[in-house]
Chains A and B, each alone.
Chain A
Amino acid sequence: MVNSLKVLYILTGFLFHADNLCVKTLFNERILPDGSFFCESCHSKSKLSTLPNRPGTYKITCYKCKHETLVKVEEENSSNGFFIEPEEKVEEPKVAATPKDEKELTEEEYKKYESIFLQDTQIISVGDAVSKPLIEINKFTIPKLKRQENWFDKVLSKFTLPEAAGSNPYFQFAKRYRYYLATAFFLLICLCIFIPIKNSYEEVKGEVDGLLLELNRHKPSKILDRNGVLVSEIFQKKTGSLKLSDYPPKLIKIILSVEDQNFYKHSGIDYFALMRATYKNIINMRYIQGASTITQQLARILIKDRRKSISRKFREALVAIALESKLSKDQILEAYLNQVYLGHGAFGIENGAKYYFNKTPDKLKTMEMILLSSLASAPNRYSPFKNRELSENRVRVIVNTLEGRDIISERFQNKINRFYETLQTPSSLTVFGSRYDKAPFVTEHIREFLKSLDPNINIYDIGGYTVETTLVQEIQEILSDEVAAHLNNLKEKGKIKRVKIKNSPDNTDVSDELQAAVIALDPSTGAVLFMHGGGEQFNSKNQFNRAVQMRRQTGSSIKPVLYASAIDSGTFNAASVLLDAPIMFSSPDGKGTWTPDNFGSAYEGEMNLRDALAKSKNTIAVQIGERMGLANLEKYYSAFFFPDVAEKNKRYRNDLSVTLGSLEISPLEMATVFGNFSNDGVIKRPYLISRVLNQEGKEIYKHLDKDEFQLKIPEERRVIASDTAEIMVSLMKGSANASGIRKYGYSGEIAGKTGTTNDNIDAWFVGTKPRLSMAIWIGFDDASYGMGKSGMGAELAAPLWARIGKKIKDLQVVPEEKFNFSKKATRLVVCRESGLFASDVCPDRVSELFTKEGRPSGTCRLSHDYVPRLR
């Protein structure tokens, strides 16, 4: 820019001064008569572009060999060399007159020209024979200026064409079209100003989209339950999220009147208001009035630049104009009302109303509206809780203005005092502490999931998302407290002791606190109803969602899966009798053994599967697995837990220990799999997020789209026959009742199973009923610690299931339904001792459920007599 201006100046200087040129030259012997220069070094001849016009010593550089020669130019008489006459002969008086003319140039003027033409100098003076300032000779002849009387004359002279322009055609052209040229020059100047502004505007306009996202950043992302009830709100700073139509018209009127009267008329900047404010500020010699429009204020919010500088104001104006081009007036106003800072951490009218008056905007009274409108310009200064007097004065001014504009009809002046007297100070100094998140583990899951959808989506950074979930808000919001209360209760009763397991390595990276995981879903749909992922409060150090992310050994809680496999495959039926006695497996060389043991090493001899499940007999579970065969076992376990082959290969272990729960399974997986028993043998893939809407209300995700919890399972799959499921529910009712769940106050339907791993490291209870399948886990993160003697599923996890189950029943949030199966199992009378059809002599007959294929193979042949036979 500077360079271009300089060139322009040179050009104009040339144009306006061309006709003032005067040439006077003296030559020595090196200058030939034809005006060319003879180099004594290379003997070449070259033509000088310009001849020296003043006496003095000049240095001429040969263009060919670069030899430098000093040339002295003298007065006509003193010269020994020849003189070349110019075309227009210059007589001596003229020569003599030249110095006179030259005297009109001041030293400064010469220096000025010197500096202008310096760049193109070919002949440089090196001495001054007549003690005159030396100049350089350029392709442009040095102008001669008339002496100027004052600065005005000097300026004027620059814009005045010289009288004699000489015979140069360019000068003639310039003279003829000087007005056009001046106009063109002016336009050029305008262009030079406009282009940078336009560029800046385009640049800003391009940024506006990004800046508008900022609006959403502070909009809370909302997590709604299955009925649209708010479960959690996530935000950095909480701004409003209302639609313009949600604000009362009167409030809008008042705010517009106070902040930007011409809002609907200007295009981002109110120039009249700007002039008026400037005038008033100059008259009063201080800042008394601003002229920022609402659009500008919104721009200021967006660019987050609070510096008092011209560049900031300039940028703010450009953003305002850009906003006007991008958004409608209503959208701008809506954004402003949701974003404007009203002090004490309240952003937006909605939050301001809530903080100052604990109301929603539609419930505000006129005086309250006025107070809120008074805060926008200086929230801290006019805060009624910080500076009541200033606030009151400001409100009075506004009331006056509004009355003058007929916006309010009543007389409010008298009411102001009373209004301030009744104004109650809020309990908190700011609204920052009111972040609402009753389901932090759910929130974290949603954040992770949305991030997996699109790495750019971070609901903590960019807000405005609406996440519709399947949660039951009534339970979810009490869940954290219920879990904490239960764990505290266990600790107080001394049921938990942190016991180090021998020879197990410590894990120092995890918390020492007792943890719990709770997750429940609706088996008929897979919808997650509530979840809680830890014992401690959710915080930066405790974000691990144990309900979903943690996998632990399940202990006996896996047994229903085993029994279902055995019954469904036809290997056993519920009445099948197996021997509960110590069992031992030897390694092939007989040197190593595995002896799965019952709890308390208690054995009861022969018993049927129903009793074995209720009593959680390990020996029988292992025998079931053994007789099913590892391949069959793998087939069923894969169907239940790992339909994905790669996942199965990674997680499944092909040995009999799986019958006792050596597989590591998450509570979510357990709840999902148990759901099949109450859902006719069908497993539905679990999901929590039913829909996600972006800031514009556009659906960006629907639950069928993805395997939300990355369980690598299909959306729906049948794992066992319907009648097998019915039998399993019947068996699991027994095992649930045996867990003691009834004594903790739960009286509804339930089919479930406890689980405890070795050394009481993990305590489980997984229970299902129609429309509900809930898994509970309790333990320490560090699996090298057990929970002591009482740390069993029946003691720790089952009571929590009962506690939550009771709440669900009391609140009636899950419909109470009876188990229902599409294919009914058959009820038959069998002998308990043999598991076969009861004969006349069978003393202990029981009614048992059977699948069509799994009916008893015959009639009981046992003698049932306690008298020994002599034969």
Chain B
Amino acid sequence: MGLISSKLLIINTITVTSNLWQFAISAKLFSFVRGLFCLEKIDKSKKFIFSIFKTNRFLPLVEMTGVIIFIFLINPLIPLTAKESTNIYNEAYRVEKISPVLSINLYEKVLEKEDISKKILKNTINRLFFLYIKFNRYEEIFILNSKFPPDKTRQKKTDQLVRNISLRLKIDESAFLEMVSICLRKDENSRKELLSVYNYYPSSYLLQYIFTIKFHTGDLETLAFLISEIPDINPVLKLAYTMRASKVYTTATSIEKAIKDAASISSLTDEQKSDILYFYGTYLRSNKKYRQSIRYFHMSATYAKKEEGLVAGEILEAAKTLFITGADKEACSLLKSKVQIQKESDEILNLFCKNKSGLRSVKRSIQNLAEKNDDEFYKKILKVINE
């Protein structure tokens, strides 16, 4: 800890030094301005420059005023010129203390920046890694690890995670890891390899992993291949694929068809029914059919597994839709019980209902989310914040 103090001292020294430099630079700058002023005088009076330096008693005062203005008015703005990645990282860390889930997008944004320093990169990756674990975003962990090879600590934690997932999926750890590594590729061979892995371990959960990873990597072609190759594929997976693909390839009518096809299957489980109704609700909301959307979310909730004292995710979506329609009170009235935060929008609505003004402290994160997602909810909430 001996160096802690010295490190802080260094920080202070740097600050002071930089201030001194700024002072020196500003003094130089204003000297230059004074020089110009003098030259102007020379032209007018055709007097020698040094005689003006000697005779004009106000020039030093002008110079001093300029320096003071620079230090007190301009200098505070200097931090804004610091590296953007650093600023975003600092903001992410600040938001993390308020709401960890809302900091994720900001940390992700830091990684997109090119001016990122090694130290910030390391910190961001690590924090993001653990935040992904915290919010069960396991697929993102594997993607992150593929982009930034894990260090000893992350590797250890990843191994532990792989062990737990493999146990849950009841497959071999190495097979799971193989599946992940294949998923992260986009070549044609990978499709067949994935299919062979699935054929070896025909687990719907494994397929679910493949789909979530591919959704994140944007490799919809592989998913289309798998859907075509696997006849009895989970209709929910197919629907999820269609929902994603519709944004790229298909029209809205095909989604409706996909939903109807899925819903027409007689052997659906309650969970699958809930998922289908949920997807339909989101589809209606995206098409601004809010009333219907709310209804389908409620219907979805009736099939979902209920946890006592918790607001179901489907009800939460219904509340968001109400919020979009401007029915704030009605929206918040649905959140009387505890909310299980899974998504950023869950947290934002939760924060809105708890303390509207508190949203300002996470505004940057919401802005970022609004930029990333063409979602009416974020637009509406930004509007509320700006009001």
Interface residues of A (CB under 8 A from B): 501, 553-555, 579-584, 586-596, 601-606, 626-627, 653, 655, 657, 660-662, 757-759, 761, 783, 839-841, 858-859, 861-863, 865-871
> A595, A601, A603, A867: which contacts B205 (Cβ < 8 A)?
A867
Within 8 A of A (CB), among B53-100: 78-79, 82-83, 86-87, 89-90, 93, 96-97, 100
Enumerate chain A residues within 8 angstroms of B341, measured Cβ to Cβ: 861
- Tell me the smallest distance from the CB of A624 to a CB of chain B, in Å: 12
Enumerate chain B residues within 8 angstroms of A601, measured Cβ to Cβ: 153
Q: B1, A594: Cβ atoms under 8 Å?
A: no
Q: B78, A603: Cβ atoms under 8 Å?
A: no
Bound CA–CA A590/B11 (angstroms) = 10
Bound CA–CA A858/B308 (angstroms) = 12
Q: A758, B82: Cβ atoms under 8 Å?
A: no
Bound CA–CA A182/B101 (angstroms) = 124
Q: B8, A606: Cβ atoms under 8 Å?
A: no
Stretch in contact with the other chain, from B30-38, B132-140, B356-364: B132-140
Q: Does chain A have a CB within 8 A of B384?
A: no
Enumerate chain B residues within 8 angstroms of A603, measured Cβ to Cβ: 126, 130, 153
Enumerate chain B residues within 8 angstroms of A840, measured Cβ to Cβ: 307
Enumerate chain A residues within 8 angstroms of B15, measured Cβ to Cβ: 587-589, 591-592
Bound CA–CA A114/B326 (angstroms) = 142
Bound CA–CA A51/B73 (angstroms) = 117
Q: B130, A579: Cβ atoms under 8 Å?
A: yes
- Tell me the smallest distance from the CB of A617 to a CB of chain B, in Å: 12
Q: A606, B123: Cβ atoms under 8 Å?
A: no
Enumerate chain A residues within 8 angstroms of B7, measured Cβ to Cβ: 594
Mask, B128-164, CB within 8 Å of A = 1, is: 0111011011110000000000001100010001001
Enumerate chain B residues within 8 angstroms of A626, measured Cβ to Cβ: 97
Q: B4, A657: Cβ atoms under 8 Å?
A: yes
Enumerate chain B residues within 8 angstroms of A868, measured Cβ to Cβ: 136-139, 208-209, 212
13 A-B pairs whose Cβ atoms sit less than 8 Å apart in the complex: A501-B2, A582-B122, A587-B14, A588-B79, A589-B18, A590-B83, A593-B11, A605-B129, A662-B5, A859-B309, A861-B310, A868-B136, A870-B236
Closest 10 CB pairs of A and B: A590-B82, A592-B11, A605-B130, A861-B340, A657-B4, A592-B14, A582-B123, A866-B168, A868-B212, A758-B2
Mask, B158-200, CB within 8 Å of A = 1, is: 0001001100110000000000000000000000000000000
B87 to chain A: closest residue by CB: A590
> B8, B87, B97, B278: which contacts A627 (Cβ < 8 A)?
B97
B7 to chain A: closest residue by CB: A594
- Tell me the smallest distance from the CB of A623 to a CB of chain B, in Å: 8
Q: Does chain A have a CB within 8 A of B246?
A: no
Bound CA–CA A858/B307 (angstroms) = 14
Q: B2, A759: Cβ atoms under 8 Å?
A: yes
Bound CA–CA A869/B129 (angstroms) = 18
Q: A584, B89: Cβ atoms under 8 Å?
A: yes
Mask, B339-367, CB within 8 Å of A = 1, is: 11110000000000000000000000000
Q: B1, A595: Cβ atoms under 8 Å?
A: no
Bound CA–CA A63/B63 (angstroms) = 97
Enumerate chain B residues within 8 angstroms of A655, measured Cβ to Cβ: 8
B78 to chain A: closest residue by CB: A589
Q: A553, B1: Cβ atoms under 8 Å?
A: yes
Bound CA–CA A501/B2 (angstroms) = 11
Mask, B248-263, CB within 8 Å of A = 1, is: 0000000000000000
B343 to chain A: closest residue by CB: A871
Q: Does chain A have a CB within 8 A of B240?
A: yes
Q: Does chain A have a CB within 8 A of B378?
A: no
B138 to chain A: closest residue by CB: A868
Enumerate chain B residues within 8 angstroms of A554, measured Cβ to Cβ: 1
Q: B10, A870: Cβ atoms under 8 Å?
A: no
Known: A758-B1, A868-B137. 19 other contacts (CB 8 A): A579-B127, A579-B131, A588-B15, A589-B82, A591-B14, A593-B119, A594-B11, A595-B119, A602-B153, A657-B4, A657-B8, A660-B1, A783-B2, A863-B340, A866-B136, A866-B169, A867-B209, A868-B139, A869-B342
B137 to chain A: closest residue by CB: A868
Bound CA–CA A107/B237 (angstroms) = 158
Enumerate chain A residues within 8 angstroms of B211, measured Cβ to Cβ: 870
Mask, B269-282, CB within 8 Å of A = 1, is: 00000010011000
Q: A579, B100: Cβ atoms under 8 Å?
A: yes
A836 to chain B: closest residue by CB: B338
Enumerate chain A residues within 8 angstroms of B342, measured Cβ to Cβ: 863, 869
B80 to chain A: closest residue by CB: A590
A-B contact count (CB 8 A): 159
Enumerate chain A residues within 8 angstroms of B123, measured Cβ to Cβ: 581-584, 595
Residue with the greatest number of chain A CB neighbours at <10 A, chosen from B123, B278, B341:
B123
Bound CA–CA A72/B229 (angstroms) = 173
Enumerate chain B residues within 8 angstroms of A662, measured Cβ to Cβ: 1-2, 4-5
B139 to chain A: closest residue by CB: A868
Q: B1, A870: Cβ atoms under 8 Å?
A: no
A501 to chain B: closest residue by CB: B2
B97 to chain A: closest residue by CB: A627
A586 to chain B: closest residue by CB: B90
Q: Does chain A have a CB within 8 A of B3?
A: yes
B166 to chain A: closest residue by CB: A866
Q: B130, A759: Cβ atoms under 8 Å?
A: no
Bound CA–CA A589/B278 (angstroms) = 47
- Tell me the smallest distance from the CB of B280 to a CB of chain A, in Å: 12
Q: B152, A602: Cβ atoms under 8 Å?
A: yes
Enumerate chain B residues within 8 angstroms of A653, measured Cβ to Cβ: 5
Q: Does chain A have a CB within 8 A of B220?
A: no
Enumerate chain B residues within 8 angstroms of A582, measured Cβ to Cβ: 122-123, 126-127
Contact of A581 with B82 at beta-carbon distance under 8 Å, contacts A867-B208, A870-B211 already known: no
Bound CA–CA A110/B55 (angstroms) = 107
- Tell me the smallest distance from the CB of A200 to a CB of chain B, in Å: 68
Enumerate chain B residues within 8 angstroms of A867, measured Cβ to Cβ: 168-169, 205, 208-209
Bound CA–CA A584/B127 (angstroms) = 11
Contact of A589 with B79 at beta-carbon distance under 8 Å, contacts A858-B338, A866-B168 already known: yes
Bound CA–CA A653/B209 (angstroms) = 51
Enumerate chain A residues within 8 angstroms of B79, measured Cβ to Cβ: 588-590
> A581, A757, A761, A839: which contacts B307 (Cβ < 8 A)?
A839
Enumerate chain A residues within 8 angstroms of B122, measured Cβ to Cβ: 582
Bound CA–CA A133/B129 (angstroms) = 134
B3 to chain A: closest residue by CB: A758
A865 to chain B: closest residue by CB: B136
Bound CA–CA A660/B338 (angstroms) = 36
Bound CA–CA A759/B6 (angstroms) = 13
Bound CA–CA A653/B237 (angstroms) = 58
Enumerate chain A residues within 8 angstroms of B86, measured Cβ to Cβ: 586, 590
> A591, A596, A606: which contacts B133 (Cβ < 8 A)?
A606
A657 to chain B: closest residue by CB: B4
Q: A866, B138: Cβ atoms under 8 Å?
A: yes
Bound CA–CA A841/B10 (angstroms) = 49
Q: A657, B5: Cβ atoms under 8 Å?
A: yes
Mask, B189-225, CB within 8 Å of A = 1, is: 0000000000000000100110110000000000000
A623 to chain B: closest residue by CB: B97
A580 to chain B: closest residue by CB: B130
Q: A553, B87: Cβ atoms under 8 Å?
A: no
Q: Does chain A have a CB within 8 A of B385?
A: no
Q: Does chain A have a CB within 8 A of B120?
A: yes
Q: B240, A870: Cβ atoms under 8 Å?
A: yes
- Tell me the smallest distance from the CB of A646 to a CB of chain B, in Å: 21
Q: A605, B4: Cβ atoms under 8 Å?
A: no
B151 to chain A: closest residue by CB: A601
Contact of A606 with B14 at beta-carbon distance under 8 Å, contacts A581-B129, A593-B119, A868-B209 already known: no
- Tell me the smallest distance from the CB of A143 to a CB of chain B, in Å: 102
- Tell me the smallest distance from the CB of B237 to a CB of chain A, in Å: 7
Within 8 A of A (CB), among B281-297: none
Contact of A870 with B133 at beta-carbon distance under 8 Å, contacts A604-B153, A758-B1 already known: no
Q: A657, B1: Cβ atoms under 8 Å?
A: yes
- Tell me the smallest distance from the CB of B167 to a CB of chain A, in Å: 8
Enumerate chain A residues within 8 angstroms of B11, measured Cβ to Cβ: 587, 592-594
